[in-house]
Amino acid sequence: MRAKVVLLVCLEIILSLGVKSEFEHNFVFTSDSNSEDVKLITKRDNMAANNTQYQEQITEKDINLTRQCWVEVEKDYEGTGTLLFTELFTSFPDYIKIFSKLKSPGEDDIFKSPRFKKHMTTALLPSIGEMLNNLDKEEALKKQLLEIGRTHKRRNITKDNFENIKNVIIKTLAIRFGDKFTPEMDTAWHKILTAGFSIIYTTLE
């Protein structure tokens, strides 16, 4: 069953990496006795807040929702990328310094820089699409996410940077899709990106 395969892959990857950051992760499978759907429950002790424990489930429906959404994003990477980075630089003005090397010499507006446009359309957004496509390809997913982490560690990108970008990605999708971005879709994106970024974070410590 596709959901079981996908979730087994996620489980094996995270357990093999011994994921640890601000949270301690424990994983267990549950299945409804009246359904073949298998769900992955992530129990996380929130060490930064009040040490309360909560559960998060990634289901096949979550994966399908994010993939269906991304089909539309792929049709206009430049438009979505411009929206995303405008929101990022508005919310976190200092972040423009992170991308300053992509600005063309003598160009004040980074959005007019060919190098920056290339980054938007061939790096960040496509990497999210690749992650979604690789959810049922264990080795490819692990290789991709760990390489993203290693590359960004060399650039001194922190977990806080990634967390802020993650939230901006979801906010951008909400703006991009409007009423079509349902609460279910919002939840699915939070869960998928949180799981993926957790693997990236293992290389940033």
Domains of the chain: 61-201 (1.10.490.10)
Per-residue pLDDT tens digits for 104-156: 787 788 998 988 988 888 889 999 999 999 988 888 988 999 999 999 999 89
Terminal C-alpha separation, the chain: 35
Beta sheet of 53-58, edge-to-edge order: 23-31, 38-46, 53-58
Q: Is the dihedral of CA 65, 66, 68, 69 positive or negative?
A: positive
If pLDDT is split at 50, 70 and 90, which confidence band does 10 have? low
Q: pLDDT digit string (tens) for 28-68?
A: 333 333 333 334 433 333 323 332 233 467 899 999 999 99
